[in-house]
Chain A
């Protein structure tokens, strides 16, 4: 009776097409599911080859959130205070960094040696923080 996997996580985005352009077009993720459910567009992506772990890219709005609350979420998101964080790993932090810089991605901090590996930080177009690390001793 114990849990055995983390399969889906969610972050808020302001625009799902712009999110696709960023997460797929720039970060190189794959679309896992892009389905019009009528009441919402269910849009998830995954790291290439890892279909067991999806990230739901959800827009804040009615009816799930009332308009005032959705507005608050959008304001918090754009000032970097929503807490949406993704931690990704790579085989080569410097190469990935150079690739993302060339694509015009917002960098929050440059590749640095840490006790746990080499990592750097970026932001998505909406304010979510993403960390990409080349970790010692783990995948």
Chain B
């Protein structure tokens, strides 16, 4: 039983890593399920059981984290950033950003200060907005 959980966890982590790599592409559940060696229906359920959120929500947080970075580190406009991180419309981006971060992209850009230079993987993991309250 335990061995099966470990193998499932590792396969789900491989799929999550794939989402991290191609966050600007549309969510491709069939491809992710293939990476994790499970059916599509099983993938969403198992991902949620493993990481505490759906693949869709994880991808949203990943994209919003990238958008937060680009808002602070570049002077690209909000619409440009919205499409660059994979959102299909400015409305969805603004609504999702506000829901997750608690303020609009423009307000966030005005308020937040650039981060110190530390290894990117830590910045990525710790600046990703939480969906766990």
A interface, CB within 8 angstroms of B: 14, 71, 74-75, 77-80, 85, 87, 106-110, 112, 114-116, 119, 121, 123, 125-127, 129, 131, 133
Contact = CB atoms under 8 A, between A and B. Distances in A.
Contacts of A80: 13, 16-17
A78 B6 contact: yes
Interface stretch (B86-94, B98-106, B114-122): B114-122
A126 B119 contact: no
Contact of A127 (B5, B13, B121): B13
Contacts of A75: 2, 5-6, 9
Contacts of B16: 80
Q: How large is the interface on B (under 10, 10 to 19, 20 to 34, 35 or more residues)?
A: 10 to 19
A123 B50 contact: no
Interface of B: 2, 5-7, 9-10, 12-14, 16-17, 20-21, 50-51, 117, 119-121
Contacts of A74: 2, 6
A96 B2 CA distance: 35
Contacts of B51: 79
Nearest to B7: A78
A131 B9 CA distance: 21
Contacts of A85: 121
Pairs A-B, 7 closest by C-beta atoms: A78-B9, A79-B9, A78-B10, A78-B6, A80-B13, A108-B17, A115-B117
